[in-house]
Structure 1
């Protein structure tokens, strides 16, 4: 029986303001799946929206009283966001060079550089047109934004991944997707309602957006969605787990481990089973069974048992499915409350401990 290797990475956000320190932690703990750290504590431009906008190809933006907006030329905040992104990319490359295997010792063949960016629908819901309405309301502007996003993300991340001897894995974070599907994205006023986008159109557009990324050199495209946002925006799991006929599906799905373990959503379980059954990647944030990062070996063992039980419930073959799993801490484990660099490192290490125990 061949050895299996469950992946370990991070969700993206990290505490602190020093990109070099964060990069050293990432490369020290997640060498096979290093992730691009997001250091939002540095302020405007370092947040998730600013980071994603800094990757747009030839589409200038600036800030408005309500947030980010398309503009005729890049504003100061946009230039700051681009500068911060460049520093983060450089820091990760430098850290990788410092821990690179000796000459002649090849890197893992399945190594991936993981970068989280806002997906095209959530970005269109949070970026304004010059007149103040969300880009989501303008079909042409939405298309231009998606094209600029795909081109810029593929160019930035694949170039760095190539220098690191890795493939590029993009995690499309779509925190607004269920609101887009339900028609509950807030407009600038109650007189500007934003209509719902049909589920089949969402699924088709995401598959085709992933196709563009792959043509640009990206190896894998995963999607991250919220567990659920209540009755005003119910989850539509089939839109992210299944592909319309004739389309290439997304390469994987990111979900909270606790959601799958708690059985609150049979649709989420079905989506996870569909993804694993098709040989795609299931990335679970956090370890199930505990409401905080595990502190002891016993905590980790309990979570491992729950994960194996979950694979049985999903009718996934334990040995084969382990290669398709990726574990990360939750975003809250990394940046909420009083979490600092030491606590974030501990959260990653506990998840790292769980991966080899599954194979045992």
Structure 2
């Protein structure tokens, strides 16, 4: 969500609770600084690993630096705000965390270069994330007693680049070797399993092209979340399988930044209906498994459009 101040976080919580009564979420407001960014948030959740902020970005260290401690403190403060404003909420609730491969592609080893370059380091990171997510979900369950369905969205925008060997090296002149698909699947599966064992429901989100959705489905996730315009013909069978099995497909169709001309809810509804027709699915039979979302995060939107985008998504969901 957009915003640059601490007050904007409380505003974001009130907005999602007011506009998304059926599926609110723990907002992220990355405009407040690197401690609130997707990577900073992910590192704040890790269990047993320390980090610090270097000129080149986040790096694992032996002892947590001041920025890592600040990221953890900010997460705790934000959860206090969510607990205060949503204390009477009952129903489904969603939170999200950066996935193991996106973190491995953005965080550096203690001596530099991405964790992605070290087989042991990326394994350790994925295991620390799995345990951290387990503890994070337990904390949320304790704070919001009325929630009967917890959804944890694992954000993996870098997964496609990881498996395609497109992540730049530190010098920028080369690319890290592609990760074998069995390993890519296993690390993601550890996180998915931890969420499930903790009583949550794991969804994986990516708004990047060429995301290996068939690989993701095999990890046992309960839902897929994608920018609809980024899905190719090869993804149709995967999403059809997910919907037919009663799992969730969260379709990103609402612009995530202010459009020159806002689409109408009727136009967006028709777009989803055409897509379902391509899959050979009846909206009446899969409607309970569909979620309508912005194409990606709303952090780059104006506050006015972020509110309009949520309302537009709700309207389309209602029509469907």
For normalisation by structure 2, the TM-score amounts to 0.90
2:52 counterpart residue number: 62
2:311 corresponds to 1:349: yes
CA contact 1:251–1:280 (8 Å) conserved in 2: yes
Aligned to 1:237: 213
Do the aligned partners of 1:55 and 1:152 also contact (CA within 8 Å) in 2? Answer: yes
* CA-to-aligned-CA distance 1:92-146 (integer Å, 9 cap, x gap): 111112xx26xxxxx34xx1x2122111011011111111021112222222211
For residues 265-314 of structure 1, the C-alpha deviation after alignment (integer angstroms, 9 at most, x for no partner) is: 101223221221222110111249xx949847xx1112212212222221
Q: Which residue of 2 is the match for residue 204 of structure 1?
A: 186
The reply to whether residue 140 of structure 1 matches residue 120 of structure 2 is: yes
8 Å contact kept, 2:207–2:295:
no
- Which position in structure 2 is the counterpart of 1:104? none
Structure-2 residue corresponding to 1:14: 2
1:286 matched to which residue of 2?
253
- Partner of 1:132, secondary structure, is coil
- Contact 1:257 1:287 (8 Å CA) reproduced: no
| Counterparts of residues 99-248 of structure 1 (less than 5 Å) | 100=88, 107-108=90-91, 111=92, 113-164=93-144, 165-166=146-147, 167-189=149-171, 194-215=176-197, 217-228=198-209, 234-241=210-217, 243=218
Partner of 1:324: 289
Is 1:314 the counterpart of 2:296? The answer is no
Residue aligned with 1:155, SS: helix
Deviation at 1:191, TM superposition (A): 8.0
1:92 is aligned, of 74, 77, 82, to 82
Contiguous gaps of at least 5 residues in structure 1: 1-12, 102-106, 229-233
Alignment RMSD (CA, Å): 2.4
Distance 1:293 1:148 in 2: 43
Cα offsets for 1:193-252 (capped at 9, x unmatched)? 52211223322332233112222x142111112341xxxxx44332123x1xxxx52111
What residue is the counterpart of 2:19 in the other structure? 29
Question: Structure 2 CA distance, aligned partners of 1:273 and 1:327?
Answer: 16
Q: Contact conserved, 2:3 with 2:32, CA < 8 A, in 1?
A: no
The answer on 1:81 being equivalent to 2:71 is yes
Task: Return 5+ residue gaps in structure 2 as ranges.
Answer: none
Change (3 A) 1:82 1:146: same
Q: Distance in 2 between matches of 1:331 and 1:16?
A: 19
Question: In the aligned structure 2, how far is the partner of 1:176 from the partner of 1:47?
Answer: 15
Aligned positions, number: 315
CA contact (8 A) 1:114 1:168 kept: yes
Question: Among residues 230, 252, 257, which one is paired with 2:223 in the alignment?
Answer: 252
Q: 1:152 to 1:204 in 2, by over 3 A?
A: closer
| Matched-pair contact (CA < 8 Å) for 1:293–1:329 | no
